């Protein structure tokens, strides 16, 4: 049975479905539920002097991701479930989710996934879910939307 569940939440339609499914699993197994959002590395502007980091852009993105997490936590609390977290982590998505799962000793990672229609879109975008399964320290539940 699962005791610690980590939900990688991004507020998208697949993320919303994962939130609902995760809530049900956590209630059923009486597990603790932790939410995180992964803020991908910002692309820097290249100048002759080197890289330029736009601190204001990074701060705006961090605020946006924190708002997404706060909304997810609010939904869980309104549904009567206790949840913790709401932490925004920064880095490559798969690496950060796996690292955080190890840190909290998660038994289950839950992520949302939307099937992409074209082979080109699937090839170009890659699959966080597929890569996460290879790197995760525990079971992974991929909640699929179409």
Question: Residue 39 is part of which domain span?
Answer: 4-145
More confident residue, 95 or 23: 95
CA distance 96 to 82: 23
pTM over 0.85: no
CA distance 42 to 26: 33
Domain with 8 in it: what CATH number? 3.40.50.620
Average pLDDT over residues 81-108: 90
Structural domains in the chain (count): 1
| Residue 14: predicted pLDDT | 87
| Residue 43: predicted pLDDT | 58
Q: pLDDT tens digits for 117-131?
A: 554 444 445 577 788
Tokens coding 9: 């939440």
Average pLDDT over residues 27-41: 89
Angle at 104 between CA 102 and CA 109, to 5 degrees: 70
Look at residue 69 and tell me whether its pLDDT is greater than 80. yes
Task: Give the confidence band of 44 by pLDDT, cuts at 50, 70, 90.
Answer: low
């Amino acid at each position: 049975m699962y005791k610690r569940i980590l939900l990688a939440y991004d507020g998208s339609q697949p993320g919303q479905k994962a939130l609902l499914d995760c809530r049900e699993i956590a209630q059923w197994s009486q597990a603790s539920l932790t939410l995180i959002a992964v803020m991908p590395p910002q692309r820097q502007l290249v100048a002759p002097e080197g890289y330029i980091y736009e601190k204001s852009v990074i701060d705006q993105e961090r605020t946006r991701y924190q708002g997404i997490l706060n909304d997810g936590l609010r939904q869980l609390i309104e549904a009567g479930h206790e949840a913790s977290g709401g932490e925004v982590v920064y880095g490559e998505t798969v690496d950060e989710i796996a690292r955080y799962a190890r840190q909290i000793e998660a038994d289950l990672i839950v992520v949302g996934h939307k099937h992409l229609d074209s082979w080109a879109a699937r090839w170009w975008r890659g699959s966080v879910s597929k890569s996460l399964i290879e790197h995760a320290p525990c079971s992974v539940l991929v909640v699929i939307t179409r």
